[in-house]
Amino acid sequence: MSIAENLDNYAESVYIKDSTGENFIENIIHTANLPSLLGKIGEKNRILELGYGEGTITSSLVERGYRVEIVEGSAKLCQAARERFGSKIVVHESLFESFKPTQLYDAIFALHIFEHVEFPSAVIHNMVSWLSPDGRVVAVVPNAESLHRQLAVIMGMQEAADTLSLRDKLVGHQRVYTLDKFVADFESAGLKVEERFGYFVKIVPNSMMSEWSPDLLCALTHISDKLPSNLLANIGIVARKPDTHELENLII
Residue 134: which CATH number? 3.40.50.150
Q: What does the pLDDT read at residue 252?
A: 45
Edge-to-edge order in the sheet of strand 105-111: 89-93, 67-72, 46-50, 105-111, 131-142, 234-240, 192-199
Q: What does the pLDDT read at residue 251?
A: 46
Tally the domains of the chain.
Answer: 1
Q: What does the pLDDT read at residue 239?
A: 98
Q: What does the pLDDT read at residue 120?
A: 95
Q: What does the pLDDT read at residue 14?
A: 87
155, burial (CB in 10 Å: exposed 0-12, middle 13-18, buried 19+): exposed
Q: What does the pLDDT read at residue 246?
A: 56
Provide the 8-state DSSP code for 60. H
Low-confidence spans in the chain with pLDDT less than 70: 1, 244-252
The domain of 210 spans 3-251
Q: What does the pLDDT read at residue 206?
A: 93
